[in-house]
Structures are given as C-alpha cells and as structure tokens.
C-alpha cells in the first residue's frame, strides 16, 4: 500500500525508517518531511494543517494509510475531516478524532476525564478571568511550589512552576487577564505539585484494545543536569530502568485500562497513539499529561525497539483488531542524543552545513531540522539530528551515540553530554 506520514521532525523520520522496513509498504510519502525523509521517501511540500492539500495529495498518489505525527492537525480535527469527506472515507488514518484529541488540546478536559474515570493525577481546580479571585484563594490553600497550566496548546511552554505565592498570583493574573499564552490561557488549571521522577508510557489503541509500547524518558531542559530553558527534548532512553514489572502492572491497571475504557465508554473515536506523561511518587504512578501522538525524541528510541511490522500494527489499529497482532520488542536498550543549533530554544541561525553523516556507524541518525540546499544537507531548525543507538543497556547505547557524534559537525552544534544522568 501507499503511505503518507504528516510532519517534518525526528519523529517522522523515525516513522518513515520503520515503515520503510515493512513489506506492506509500497510508496512512501512524507509531508512536508526533511532532508532525511527525502532519502527514503518522497517529500511533499504541504503544511500538516492544510487539509485540502492533504486530500489532493492522497488522491493524486493513491494513498491508503496516513500517519499523523504532530498534535496540531489532530486537535484541528483531521480525523473527522477524513470521515466526513466522501473520497477519503476508505483511507486509513491513525490518530484520534477531534474530541479525542482534546485530551491534549485542553488540560481541563484531560483533568475532568481522569477524575471521571478514577485515574490517579494531581488534585486541581480550573479558573477563568471571571474567577481570578477564587483562583488566588485556591493558591493560598496549596503548598509551594505552585503549578499553573494554560488550558490550551502553548507549544510546550504553558506550564509554570513557581516557588513564591505572590509570584504565582501575579502569573495567574497575567495568564487569565493579559493573555500571557494567548487564548490558550483563557482557562488556567492550578494543580498540586507532585514530587517524583518522570517517565513516559506509550500506548497504541484501536479504541477497544491496546498495546503498551516500550517506555521512555526524555530530557527536556537545554542544560546539563536538567537546567535552563525547556526544549522539545534533548535526548531520550528506552526502556526506563525503574519501570519494573510491578510498577508497569500498576500503570496498566490504574492508568492504561481506565484510559482506554474511558474513551470507549464516552464513545470517542480513538485509533492512535496515547502518550502518557507520568510521575512516580513513592511507588505509585500519577498522570501529568496526555498527548495524543508519539513524543519527539521518544519515538527515536521507542520505534527502533519494536520488532513487529509497524504497518501491520497500524492497520490492525484502524480495523479495531489490535488483539490479533503480537507486539514483539527488542530486549536491548535504546538511547538517542539530539544535536541542536546554538541558541536554541531561543533565537538560532539556520542553513549551516552538516558534515560527517556518512561516517556514522553502528548507530541510526534521524534528521529533525534539516533540509537540502545545493546538494548539501544544512540545518533548518533548532533540533537538527537525533543519534540513536541500541545496546545491552542505555549506558552502552549512549556511548555508541556519543562516539558517533564526534564525527558530526555543523557550526554552533550543541548537545547534552549527560542524557540518562538521573537513572
Ligand atoms: P506538562 O506540559 O503538563 O507535561 O508539564 C510540563 C512539565 O511540568 C512536566 O513535564 C513536569 O516536569 C512538570 N509538571 C507538570 N505538572 C506537574 C505537577 N503537578 N507536579 C510536578 N511537576 C509537574
Ligand atoms: N518530548 C516531549 C514531547 O514530544 O511532547
């Protein structure tokens, strides 16, 4: 069959790499893609939220299966657009409906969903401009640090964690009354701070059945030791060593099952990935957030460990018979390190030539922000390349990645040398 992947990051290059290995894949397209996807697929220069252009691309290229990488098209309702459009009705698309995507698109909705289905999460209340004073009073009842979350999508920047009560009140006011995060902060969720170690669990669900994919832990801050500004993610490892059998059972029983059953009970059309951000407090898992897609760079360590044909898994997801496919996972660990442009996540320059890619051995490199210019591969984003390795444990895998990074170069290249430091 012909397959289209929407997106342009390391996540999408990893999907392309994995899908390309499937004997079920005939022609592979990525929209808009990057210099890495260009080498194994056909890039189509259209935006992931231009539904009309996507429809045309599907009809022109006889596409049978669409994998949606980022959240934006899902939150904007691409799955509903497919089911409502006559010519696209028979095209398989992986992702939740618009209502399903609200688990990521609205923090308040996600919290209500968890409350309804008894899924462990931090205590919370939500507020609007009209209830600002009540919000301030609620803050008084909490202990520091204070967690304020913009309800809507805010490009990963909408969560503030503050030590000081006066500052927390001021920020709440800025979010609600001065649109600090635009419309995303018209509603703000204030929640209890949970103290523990984070991990991510990925689930593929067809709306009834589910498969728990390998766990991962990502490193979001720009600086060593998890300091400095938040980024999209500077590296990741899989599996998470502390997520042992007992803990995974708790996650499955207390979180994964109630989540899938909750979606089904609420009649929500959800055939896709659920990325559950968790925190381990004592010995118990709590949900911090849901995302309705795979993570980036988590995908770069999760998919390379999946031995089952990914297209087979995706087809079964669409046809709601996921129970018929056996999920096989590589027992080796994977680690990935992101190479980023100097200055990222703030201002940075693009167009720097990347050299040394041909020297990489015993590792897989996934392109993130790259493009081709005059037959050269150049930087085209903050996160540029992810170097993934597999080995007996994450430390040995990391060693391989770091060894290969020494062969790579672009002007201003930066990366964290301490991925996995806290494990
Ligand atoms: P989110 O966008 O909801 O994933 O939040 C971003 C980050 O803020 C998370 O990865 C956590 O590190 C932190 N965070 C969010 N909620 C809480 C909480 N209730 N307690 C402690 N840390 C939190
Ligand atoms: N790495 C975090 C995310 O994809 O949201």
Domain edge (last residue) among 81, 97, 113: 97
Report pLDDT digits (tens) over 292-324: 999 999 999 999 999 999 999 999 999 999 999
Residue 124 has pLDDT above 90, yes or no: yes
Phi and psi of 68, rounded to 5°? -95, 115
- CB 269: neighbour CB atoms within 10 A? 16
In a domain, 297, yes or no: no
- CA dist 111 and 200 (Å) reads 17
**Ligand 2: residue whose CA is nearest its atom 4:** 295
**Ligand 2: residue whose CA is nearest its atom 2:** 295
In a domain, 170, yes or no: yes
- The domain total for the chain is 2
In this structure, the answer to whether residues 93 and 129 fall within a common structural domain is: no
Q: Are 164 and 144 in contact (CB under 8 A)?
A: yes
How far, in Å, from the CA of 288 to the mean position of ligand 1?
Answer: 6
Domain edge (last residue) among 145, 171, 191: 191
In a domain, 102, yes or no: no
In this structure, the answer to whether residues 137 and 86 fall within a common structural domain is: no
In this structure, the answer to whether residues 88 and 8 fall within a common structural domain is: yes
Q: Is 287 in the pocket of ligand 1 (CB under 6 A)?
A: no
How far, in Å, from the CA of 232 to the mean position of ligand 2?
Answer: 6
Q: Is 71 in the pocket of ligand 1 (CB under 6 A)?
A: no
In this structure, the answer to whether residues 17 and 67 fall within a common structural domain is: yes
* DSSP helix/strand/coil, 250: helix
Q: Are 212 and 248 in contact (CB under 8 A)?
A: yes
In this structure, the answer to whether residues 66 and 129 fall within a common structural domain is: no
- CATH code of the domain containing 32: 3.40.50.20
Report pLDDT digits (tens) over 46-97: 999 999 999 999 999 999 999 999 999 999 999 999 999 999 999 999 999 9
Q: Is 123 in the pocket of ligand 1 (CB under 6 A)?
A: no
| Residue in 215, 292, 296 to alter for ligand 2 test, most ligand atoms within 8 A of Cβ | 296
Percent of the chain surpassing pLDDT 90: 97
pLDDT value at residue 156: 73
- CATH code of the domain containing 144: 3.30.1490.20
In a domain, 31, yes or no: yes
Residue 86: give the domain boundaries: 3-97
How far, in Å, from the CA of 330 to the mean position of ligand 2?
Answer: 22
DSSP-derived secondary structure for 24-55: T--SEEEEE--HHHHHHSEE----TT-HHHHH
Phi and psi of 413, rounded to 5°? -55, 135
| Residue in 155, 279, 280, 422 to alter for ligand 1 test, most ligand atoms within 8 A of Cβ | 279
Q: Is 179 in the pocket of ligand 1 (CB under 6 A)?
A: no
Residue 146 has pLDDT above 80, yes or no: yes
Looking at ligand 1, which atom is closest to the CA of residue 122? 19
Looking at ligand 2, which atom is closest to the CA of residue 233? 1
Looking at ligand 2, which atom is closest to the CA of residue 293? 4
Domain edge (last residue) among 162, 191, 220: 191
In this structure, the answer to whether residues 152 and 187 fall within a common structural domain is: yes
In this structure, the answer to whether residues 73 and 7 fall within a common structural domain is: yes
In this structure, the answer to whether residues 92 and 128 fall within a common structural domain is: no
* Its pTM surpasses 0.85: yes
How far, in Å, from the CA of 293 to the mean position of ligand 2?
Answer: 9
């Amino acid at each position: 069959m012909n397959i289209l992947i929407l997106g342009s990051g390391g996540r999408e290059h990893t999907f392309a790499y994995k899908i390309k290995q499937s004997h079920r894949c005939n022609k592979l397209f990525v929209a808009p893609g990057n210099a890495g996807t260009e080498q194994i697929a056909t890039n189509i220069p259209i935006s992931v939220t231009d539904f009309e252009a996507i429809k045309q691309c599907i009809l022109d290229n006889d596409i049978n299966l669409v994998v949606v990488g980022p959240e934006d098209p899902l939150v904007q309702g691409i799955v509903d657009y497919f089911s409502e459009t006559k010519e696209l009705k028979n095209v398989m698309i992986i992702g939740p409906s618009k209502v399903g995507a609200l688990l990521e698109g609205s923090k308040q909705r996600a919290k209500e969903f968890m409350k309804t289905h008894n899924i462990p999460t931090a205590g919370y209340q939500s507020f609007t401009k009209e209830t600002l004073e009540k919000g301030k009073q609620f803050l008084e009842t909490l202990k520091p640090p204070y967690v304020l979350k913009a309800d809507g999508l805010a490009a990963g920047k909408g969560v503030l964690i503050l030590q000081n009560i006066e500052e927390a009140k001021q920020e709440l006011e800025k979010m609600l009354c001065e649109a600090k995060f635009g419309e995303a902060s018209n509603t703000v969720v204030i929640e209890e701070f949970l103290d523990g170690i984070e991990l991510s669990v990925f689930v593929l669900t067809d709306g009834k059945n589910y498969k728990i994919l390998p766990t991962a832990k990502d490193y979001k801050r720009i600086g060593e030791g998890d300091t400095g500004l938040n980024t999209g993610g500077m590296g990741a490892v899989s599996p998470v060593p502390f997520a042992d059998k007992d803990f995974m059972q708790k996650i499955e029983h207390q979180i994964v099952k109630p989540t899938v059953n909750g979606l089904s009970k609420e009649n929500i059309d959800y055939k896709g990935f659920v990325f559950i951000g968790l925190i381990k407090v004592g010995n118990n898992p709590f949900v911090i957030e849901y995302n309705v897609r795979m993570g980036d760079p988590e995908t770069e360590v999760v998919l390379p460990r999946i031995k089952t044909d990914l297209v087979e898994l995706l087809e079964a997801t669409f046809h709601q018979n996921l129970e018929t496919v056996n999920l096989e996972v590589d027992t080796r660990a994977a680690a990935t390190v992101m190479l980023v442009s100097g200055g990222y996540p703030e201002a940075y320059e693009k167009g720097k030539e990347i050299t040394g890619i041909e020297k990489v051995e015993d590792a897989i490199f996934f392109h993130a922000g790259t493009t081709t210019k005059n037959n050269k591969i150049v930087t085209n984003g903050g996160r540029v390349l992810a170097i993934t390795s597999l080995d007996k444990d994450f430390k040995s895998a990391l060693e391989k990645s770091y060894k290969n990074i020494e062969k790579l170069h672009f002007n201003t290249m930066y990366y964290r040398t301490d991925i996995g430091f806290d494990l």
